[in-house]
Amino acid sequence: MLKPTLIFSLLYGLLLSTVIHAEPDTRGTEAQLVKSLQAINNNRLDIALNEVDSLLRANPNFKLAQLVKGDLLMARAGVINNFGSAANAPQDKIEDLRDEARVRLQRVLSQSDIKLRPRFLWQMDAQQKYALVVDTSRSTLFVYENVNGEPRYVTDFYVTIGKLGTEKFSSGDQRTPIGVYFVKAELPKKQLADMYGDGAYPLSYPNEWDVRNKRAGSGIWLHGTPSDTYSRPPRASNGCVVLSNDDLNKLAPYLQVGITPVIIANQMSWGNEQDQAERANLLQEVEQWRKDWANLDTDAYLKHYSSNFSSNNVDYPAWAKQKQLVNSAKTWIKVNMMNVSIFTYPEQPNMVVVNFEQDYSSNNLSNRMKKRQYWIKQNNHWKIIYEGAA
């Protein structure tokens, strides 16, 4: 019989040297994989095989578990010579499964920071019961509950992203976009091709920042897997964020169409005291913007806008001229803001997205609308770089 340490090196290489002493998470597929590997380390291939068999009974289409079972049987027979040692096994598929094994195991090992506050969620509004953050480097989708405007970790799921990674720029580039998006719709299984699994939730790509930066394409969804597939490798989609059907169904209760934010980042960033101070400073600027507008102090109001401001192809000079003309016809204005949310933008450390409901009234007009602003920090001052209806 092969020594267990040799089995480890053959199956998973250096990665498992960090796993064998880990305390396994008690949840789901990753937990059973780790239990199986630890049983191998203890020279208990029978227990390892039982764990994998149990996993396959629950998820018969879990290809990674099928491969591990095959390797265990071959190891017990003393004929294994590599990860995925079956004759004529396609190497590209083996590499995909190796990547999935690595990512799933790393997910188990990286649970120590789940109770930290993600930097992206500066403030959630009362309507947003949950927020999602996708850490593409860990192939992980985190779910946070809104507790009095503050995020609290609930759970997380393994996900697949684009074949060619992130930073989507053009249609068909097989990349997943990075940014702040929202769930736009819910598409049930009966309306979808089998490749989308048990359902799909289109996201608001391209957003206003994407359009400004000439990023193209569409059809970025959260969705499931085909009926004959439990899960896909970490990089296998055409740009969508893909979950197993079981996980998609578990995620569904946390999603609110038109409300739930989905922040996709290259890597999770955690908040600190400086973020708290920055958030407070930004909220003061937003409130001062509201006051200057309500006070009909147009010069002060316009100073809140960046010289690089644009909205719907209107640049700052045209915007300023229009606002001066409109405000000159007002004798009074009232502006109230409700349900304010603030999200920092991935890969843009000095930019935030502010969403709110605006209740506006004046001597000749009244309306209520959902609004979105992008604020950017320039020379230590927060300025609006985009504004429009949400």
Q: 120 and 25, same structural domain?
A: no
Percent of all residues in the chain with a pLDDT value above 70, rounded to a whole number:
87
What's the distance, CA 193 to chain centroid? 24
Question: What is the per-residue pLDDT for 12?
Answer: 43
Question: What is the per-residue pLDDT for 66?
Answer: 85
Give the long-range contacts of residues 31-40, CB within 8 A, separation 24 or more: 31/108, 33/64, 33/65, 33/68, 33/101, 33/104, 33/105, 33/108, 34/105, 34/108, 36/68, 36/72, 37/8, 37/12, 37/105, 40/4, 40/7, 40/8, 40/72, 40/75
Using the 3D structure, point to which of 80, 109, 138 is the last residue of a domain. 109
- Identify the domain containing residue 184 by its residue range: 113-265
Q: 125 and 79, same structural domain?
A: no
Average pLDDT over every residue of 183-191:
96
Q: 123 and 105, same structural domain?
A: no
Is residue 87 very low, low, confident or very high in pLDDT (cuts 50, 70, 90)?
low
Question: What is the per-residue pLDDT for 84?
Answer: 60
Average pLDDT over every residue of 183-199:
97
Q: 73 and 134, same structural domain?
A: no
Q: 70 and 124, same structural domain?
A: no
Question: What is the per-residue pLDDT for 7?
Answer: 47
Domain count, the chain: 3
pLDDT at 163 over 90: yes
